[in-house]
Amino acid sequence: MKRIFLLWFLTAAVLTAGNIRVLQDRKLTDLSQGKFFFPKFSPAGEAVFFTSENYNGLWKLSLESGSLEQISSKPGIGYKFQFTADGNKLIYRTTNFKNKRKFHSLFEYDLINKKENVLEESVRNLSPPQINMDGNVFYIAQGVMKTASAKLLKTNNQSVSVFIEDRNLFLSINGERKKLNPLGKGIYLWPSLSPAGDKILFTAGGKGTFICDLNGNILVELGYANYPKWSPDGKWILFMKDKDDGYNYTASDLYVKSEDGKTEVQLTDTANEIEMYGEWSPDGTEIVYHTNNGEIRLIKLQYN
Amino acid sequence: MLKKILVLTVLAINVIFAQDFNNLKIYINPGHGGHDSNDRYIPETGFWESEGNLAKGLYLRDLLVSFNANVRMSRVTNNSSDDLPLSQISEDANNFDADFFHSIHSNAYNGQTNYTLLLYKEVNGSPAFPQAKQMCDIMALKIYEAHRTTTKYTRGDYSFLGFNLGVLRNLTMPGTLSEGSFHDYIPESWRLRNDAYLKHEAWAIAKAFIDYYGLQTLQVGEIAGILRDHDKLVDYYYIPSTTDGKKPLNNVSVTLLPDNKTYNGDTYNNGFYLFDSLAPGNYQVIVTAEDYSTDTLDVTVQANKTSFADKWLTLVENYNIPQIISTIPASGSADVRLSSKISIQFDIPMDKNSVESAFVISPDVQGTFQWSDNDKLLEFIPSNKFSKDTEYTVTIDTTAHTIFNVALAAPYSFSFHTRKKLNLVSYYPADNSADISTTVKIILTFDAPVSVNTLGNNIFFKDAGGNSVSLAADQSAFAKGQIIFWPVYPLEYNSNYKVILKSGIGDTDGLTLEEDYEINFTTEKDRYVNGSIIDSFETEGLWWQPGQSGSTTGIDASVTGFELTTGKKYNGAKSGKLTYKFTAENGICRLYNPAEPDLGNNDNSLFGLWIFGDFSHNVLEYWFRDSHGTNYPYFVDTLNWTGWKLKTISLGDLGIAGNKKFHSIVIKKSPDGSEEGELYFDDLQTDVVPVKGEIQLPEKFKLYQNYPNPFNPSTIIKYAIPVAQKAESKALRVQLKVYDVLGREVATLVDKQQSAGTYQVIFSPEIVKGGLPSGVYFYKLKAGDFVQTHKMLLVK
């Protein structure tokens, strides 16, 4: 019996190595340029946008020219900023404090004309922008779901989105929201719809990361996998396995796992670097991420 | 009068602060959960940082909530599973969109320092959020004043540590981390074991929040203090500039006048006491401790401050002859564990040297002595384990005397006998038992923790053909003296199995079972075909929490609860999990379904619920109602099994004429029942079809014609799922949907994983919003690659 298990593991390892591999892992920014975090590809994949400490300010790095441009220095702007589907506009939330109370504003920024348009100004209880199935950017202001842009990436009869409210996992279809909570009461994090819109990827605090259907039936258990992200073709999940001692991060590496949970490939394996918060390129061949000390890096992948 | 004053005080606090925090969102992170490698433990005092941080956090939450703040915590229990990684904590705080984040910790260094430290995130030499630095300055002062540490510091994390703290790193709001005091400084470590001391720190942090937000300061204050022995010094390190060298007293008793409140202290060598929420004014504090003198202190309470009232008490001279009140092991004890220690409780503080010299154990055993309880409790810790099957006699001769130099009147002796072998105390299933669930959980209970290393080749689980059954085990049970395991796959129905225990199974004392055991049992004969499902326990919100039901009584509300879970299920993706803990012998835990589903009037119908039993021996009842609303409790069974079993009753046995409604699953504490348990429920149903003996599983897919057809108001749709073709999948995704003549989906009747079997569901057009008009409808079964559609006719 033990021999059977051993053979099975060997087979799995060969499969793993054969499906996807890292061709290159290179630095995009140097610490001399500043400490940058939470990178994200533009929808066309020609640039990477990222923020600095505490999500303050937003920068654009052209992957073709290598030029680095600061888009904004606003506080809080880098937290979960979104692009409209055509890539021409950014939707972002900024943060300000009045009498030590937190307020947010929401803006639409035209990347071509470099013009900013305010959508919500200095209000409390405003979610960061999020993106739904049909490519629309939405947000939740004082409990009400609102659409921030009407540029459609895909035409779809149904407007489907998933989001977190009061730690619950919600599914919204055509504005009708339903509390899913597939594992019962808990702390739900990082929800996202599969590119096909038929599955939900989410993390349950302390329990792991899972894929469920739109009825909340668990389909796959992915294990410990933080900040999970669907690949554009929906076949892989990118995530980080971060470790800490209660004060500080002690290690983190990036991994991908097949959407059936059976094949896992480690993308980074460095003793001194703490690699975190990866994001896919639009064509799924590259990944950007930040290290804990503030470097932005890019991984080039090869599929077999 | 006193009650009225207290009520007014509480009201006053609430009125003053009712609008002040005005739903400010505060996120509290009690650091280091779970007694695991991320935790910090001080063996000399038994202090866990996870426990101290959590207690402070819970007290702080309660205070802030009482001030009308909106508070969220990263954890409210102390398990590894809810000690979230930092990335999840920061994401949770950001999702909450907190106005402020605070992480609660205590510090450690070299055991010889005790200051207060507040940290904020620092970038390029400046605070990432200037507000965080401001809060640090306020909070450092508040905690320093409350704990009377040696000094206080506010520091940026990068300057102090050389890196940015992960816990503050990715937040969208100002965040701070408090290291209130040093838990490796032994005097402070003892104080941090005192619940009131932790609460006092929570008050300090709450006051910091009030100052930070510029709210009206508290109109109440506290009295706190430490009672110490006037003469005795501690035998561990203390900072010379403090009073920590004076021995703190245990079991302090402090009475506050005129409120007439009494604080009773603990035995954790801290001498601390606290009275909080006191209106400003003059008070008298009467302090004493077991064996010590009584003193009275006059204290003036000021609003928003702690007034300290410490006192050094003297031991009351006692010239009575000392008595030995009790011993562990008790005299005459048998089967004493080899790793036991010996405890001797005196009624008067003893002279330690004289007692240790007077202590003789025969046969001779080397060991060390420890004293506690004001030198009244002696513990002898053997250097090596006792010998097995041996009679030991302990004697304290008359040279032992009290600190007042009064000797024992006569030598005191007691004897005990050590264990000879590991004993099997109880087991489930019983030998030669029948009707055991095919998913049985086997429970073997011994009289000592089991050594895992001895189990290989000493325990077997076999079927009638002598083949080993694949099993999984509960690894946490061994330390409790239990071996708990279950088959990985369901056992065969109506088949014989045996559990074989060999004599080599051993315990942590090194003793073995010394004889072989064989436990034979037969699995249940009867199978069931699912009837009409009332609740498949796949949907949230259909049942009340036990605490919401008026009939629930005598339970621990912090433990008792109901939730859906994927961890264990009979069918589909989830089951219902009821965790309960009784606090009273007449405890009742009721799980109420407010829909009160109507079961119809068929007295021949078999009503059932799949229950994974917990072997608690508590009582299971189903509660029904007649059409007039009268309640009909029905005894179903004693919870004396493990594994899934369908617990059925015939509706005709209820004695209800006409329609019957089901509304509750009820667990009642029985005299010999366990105080706590865990039950799982699945597929509540009527019209259960019992099948005696073998059941023929379908060999192929089939969708039957609905019955009745045409129908109104409802019809039954039956279908068959054969044994899965692929070995790796025991269940198939099954969908049964209803469509109108235009091909529009009007209802989903089934959408879940199902294993081989014959199923039936009731389709009632009432489940469709707005109902359905008369006409032709189609129902389609999709299971794997199999698709079949039938037509049906609704006539209104």
Q: B175 to chain A: nearest residue by CA?
A: A54
Provide the shortest C-alpha distance from residue B124 to chain A (in Å). Answer: 10
Question: What's the pLDDT band for B726 if we cut at 50, 70, 90?
Answer: very low
**Cβ separation A246–B566 shorter than 8 A:** no
B751:A189 CB<8 A: no
Q: How far is B213 from chain A (nearest CA, A)?
A: 7
pLDDT at B690 over 90: no
pLDDT reported for residue A18:
45
Q: In chain B, which residues have their Cβ closer than 8 Å to the Cβ of A207?
A: 81
- Using one digit for the tens of pLDDT, what is the confidence trace for A212-236? 999 888 889 899 999 999 999 999 9
Local confidence band at B248 (pLDDT 50, 70, 90 cut-offs): very high
Whether B443 and B615 have beta carbons less than 8 Å apart is answered as yes
Mark which residues 240-269 of A lie under 8 Å from B by CB: 240, 242-249
Write the residue in A37, A102, A248 that is nearest to B99 by C-beta: A102
Instruction: Note the pLDDT of residue A299.
Output: 97
pLDDT for B707 equals: 75
Q: What is the pLDDT of residue B6?
A: 38
Cβ neighbours for A29, distance < 8 A, ≥ 6 positions apart = A36, A50, A61, A68, A295, A296
Contact B212 A100 (CB under 8 A): yes
The percentage of residues in chain B with a pLDDT greater than 70, rounded to a whole number, is 96
Mean pLDDT of chain B: 91
What confidence category does residue A10 fall into, taking pLDDT thresholds of 50, 70 and 90? Answer: very low
Asked if the Cβ–Cβ distance from B84 to A182 is below 8 Å, we say no
Q: What's the rounded Cα separation, in Å, for the pair B69 and A100?
A: 14
Cβ contacts of A215 on chain B, cutoff 8 Å: 751
Q: Give tens-digit pLDDT for A249-281.
A: 999 999 999 999 889 999 999 888 999 999 999
Furthest CA-CA distance within chain A: 67
- Residue A3 in this model has a pLDDT that exceeds 70: no
CB atoms closer than 10 angstroms to residue B659: 13
DSSP run (H or E) holding A190: strand A188-193
Considering only CB atoms, which chain B residues are within 8 Å of A206?
A: 81-84, 88
Nearest Cβ partner for B31 among A167, A226, A246: A246
Q: Count contacts between A and B (CB, < 8 Å).
A: 123
Chosen from A51, A102, A276 to mutate, greatest number of chain B CBs within 10 A: A102
Distances (CA, A) of A73 to A50, A126, A144, A291, B578: 12, 20, 28, 21, 52
- To the question of pTM greater than 0.90 for the whole model, the response is no
Of B450-459, B548-557, B638-647, B689-698, the one with minimum mean pLDDT is: B689-698
The pLDDT tens digits of the residues spanning B428-473 come to: 999 999 999 999 999 999 999 999 999 989 999 998 888 888 888 8
Instruction: List chain A residues with CB under 8 Å of B736.
Output: none
Tell me: pLDDT of B385 over 80: yes
Cβ contact A243:A214 at 8 Å: no
Residue contact A101–B166, C-beta within 8 A = no
Sign of CA dihedral B503, B504, B508, B509: positive
> What part of A 169-198 touches B (C-beta under 8 Å)?
179, 181-185, 187, 189-190
Q: Which of A100, A139, A229 to mutate to test the interface with B (most CBs of B within 10 A)?
A: A100
Q: Which of A8, A234, A256, A183 is nearest to B728 (CA)?
A: A8
pLDDT value, residue A153: 40
Q: Say what the pLDDT of residue B724 is.
A: 60
Could you give phi then psi for residue B725, rounded to 5 degrees?
Answer: -75, -35
Which pLDDT score, from 0 to 100, does residue B541 have?
A: 82
How many angstroms away from the CA of A102 is the closest CA of chain B? 5
**Residue A57 touches partner B, C-beta closer than 8 Å:** no
Identify the structural domains of chain B with CATH numbers, from first to last: 21-212 (3.40.630.40), 221-313 (2.60.40.1120), 324-418 (2.60.40.3710), 424-525 (2.60.40.1220), 530-691 (2.60.120.260), 702-794 (2.60.40.1930)
A205:B84 CB<8 A? yes
Between chains, do A276 and B87 touch, taking CB under 8 Å as contact?
A: yes
Residues 269-288 of A with CB under 8 A from B: 276
Q: Pick A226's closest partner by Cβ from B88, B105, B541.
A: B88
Are residues A217 and B98, on separate chains, in Cβ contact within 8 Å?
no
Q: Is residue B598 over pLDDT 60?
A: yes
Spatial distance between the Cα atoms of B291 and B286, rounded to a whole number of angstroms: 15
Residue A136 has pLDDT above 50, yes or no: yes
Q: How far is the C-alpha of B171 from the C-alpha of B100, rounded, in Å?
A: 9
Q: Among partner residues A164, A218, A244, which is closest to B86 by beta-carbon distance?
A: A244
Q: What is the pLDDT of residues B333-373, one digit of tens each?
A: 999 999 999 999 999 999 999 999 999 999 999 999 999 88
Residues of B with Cβ-Cβ distance to A185 under 8 angstroms: 563
With an 8 Å Cβ cutoff, are B87 and A227 in contact?
yes
Of B25, B166, B172, the CB nearest to A79: B172
Report pLDDT for A271.
80
What mean pLDDT comes out for the span B191-215?
Answer: 97
Identify which of A99, A49, A120 has the alpha carbon closest to the alpha carbon of residue A79.
A49
Is the pLDDT at B175 greater than 50? The verdict is: yes
> How many Å lie between the alpha carbon of A153 and the closest alpha carbon of chain B?
26
